[in-house]
Amino acid sequence: MLPFLLIATTNPGKFREFSELLADLPLRLQSLADFPSAPEVAEDDDTYAANARHKALTIARWSGRSALADDSGLEVDALGGAPGVHSARYAGENQDSVANVAKLLRALAGVPPAERAARFRCVVVVACPEGTTLTAEGGCDGRIIETPRGREGFGYDPVFLYPPAGLTFAEMPAAMKHRVSHRARACAQLRERLMLFLSAHPAELKA
């Protein structure tokens, strides 16, 4: 039977990306959208790694199976690295990505293109119920544009320009984004060790 990996997110865009990035591995993937009784996990640590590890361990122990969690953020040089670990909640706890992007563009109003350098960062952690973890990281440099472009992706993708392609992440076909994004690079690092890790730490579903 194929190993089961629970992707600790209810975000359909993020789950789709992980499913595509790990598609050729012999895994059974599910998201937290399939588990409405899953606990809410606060992402209130001050590093991506700590947030991802806390969420992966919490969900793995609750479910009884291996769980993958990531914490990602956008770091803008002109804003001193903000929004950083607060990227998902930049406009407030009850806001959405549209509000986050709007706040970001307001904060950068008047900043010239040459000073709008930014990067996406991602830390992925896979945890087993007994507490063993596997960690991978990835990043991607780009620039924040003044007006959103594109309809693909999610989050800050419409304003994150990847200069080598001249496209925002929201304008890229999925296959292109999966070669260069921060999440893709973290998964590329992860996949080299993932199957061995899962086979060494088998687990069965409890929840």
- Scan for tokens 């998201």, then name that residue: 31
Cβ-based burial of 136 (10 A; exposed 0-12, middle 13-18, buried ≥19): buried
Nearest Cα residue to 140 out of 177, 99, 113 = 177
User: For residues 137 and 179, is the Cβ–Cβ distance under 8 A?
Assistant: no
Among the listed residues 24, 46, 71, 141, the single catalytic one is 71
Please state, in angstroms and as integers, the Cα–Cα distance from residue 70 to each residue in 95, 111, 119, 186, following that order. 20, 31, 16, 10
- 73: amino acid identity, one letter: G
Active site residue 71: yes
Question: Which residues are designated catalytic?
Answer: 71
